[in-house]
Amino acid sequence: MTGLEDHLHGLWLPLVTPFQGGALDERSLRRLTRHYSAQGIDGFILGATSGEGMTLREAELERLVAIARDEMAAGRCTLPICLGLSGVDTSRLQDRLDETADWPIDGYLIASPYYVRPSQRGLLAHFETLAEHAAWPLALYNIPYRTSVNITNQTMLRLAEHPNIVGLKDCGASREQSIALLRDRPKEFRVLTGEDASYFEALVDGADGGIVLSAHVETATFAAVYAETKRGNHDAALARWHEVADLTRLLFTEPSPAPAKYWLWRCGLIDSPEVRLPMVEVSSELAAAIDREIERRTKVAA
């Protein structure tokens, strides 16, 4: 597929990466891909934060992409895939772009360099260098509470002028900054919220969609929130949002993606809730809370 900017809207799922016995669980990955491809999502993010991408070896990441694409092809599904990449060394990231240039993806989601706290000039040079080098379009990932540096709107608007930088996953945690960016951005530049708890609010403010970990659960409802908002049916969208808003808190009670993985395991979508250190599986208290919520929703659905 080409033209990522044409697909960068709606509900995107940052897919968890299933593990079992320390290895990539390919059977569960196939099951997840088949399941969510039929749930009304608009695209997959693979190997990013929710997918524990920084713990994946290169061969595992390549296998992750290949399996997801293979399962979609088997189901005659052509959802776009963005590959999550991150790092603090611009040169090394250029190498990663070269190594993945012929993978069956549609673009990259690239986070700001973490820990080193570059200046705005440094961020501008970093992302422009990567955009010039990449074979596929880039969506940027602004998440200052993880990276310790905020991409300001002034910098973002300059980056948005680059033809190979087509969008943003916005986790800036400032509604004021987000609204200003939505007002001033170029028409073709896509902004998707990455703040699960602010999904409805961001859509009302004019965001093009969301990259929502919580949408692993009640996926169709999250998709309906987007669809109703875009139709201008805000009351209907709000009603659907109220059905899932609590999930966005429950699934982030402890570090993500462990709570989502536990839920998916309890529902049989993955064979193990395993995460990789330094992540750990959910506490017994949260496991019990998730079990209760699964039981409650099962009864409501019945």
Is 148 annotated as contributing to ligand binding? no
Sequence-distant (6+) residues with CB within 8 A of 187 are none
Is 214 annotated as contributing to ligand binding? no
Residue 122, CA atoms < 13 Å, CB-side half-sphere: 12
**Active-site residue flag, 169:** yes
Closest among 55, 15, 53, 52 to 37, alpha carbons compared: 15
Beta strands 23-24 and 19-20 are: antiparallel
Residue 44, CA atoms < 13 Å, CB-side half-sphere: 31
Q: What is the DSSP string of 57-76?
A: -HHHHHHHHHHHHHHHHHTT
Choose, from 108, 141, 199, 226, the residue flagged as catalytic: 141
CB distance 212 to 197 below 8 Å: no
Q: How far apart are CA 7 and CA 1, in angstroms?
A: 10
Choose, from 108, 169, 199, 261, the residue flagged as catalytic: 169
Helix/strand/coil for 131: helix
Closest among 291, 258, 267 to 17, alpha carbons compared: 258
**Active-site residue flag, 141:** yes
Sequence-distant (6+) residues with CB within 8 A of 237 are 200, 203, 204, 224, 225, 226, 228, 229
* Active site amino acids: 141, 169
Return binding residues. Answer: 50, 211
Return binding residues for pyruvate. Answer: 50, 211
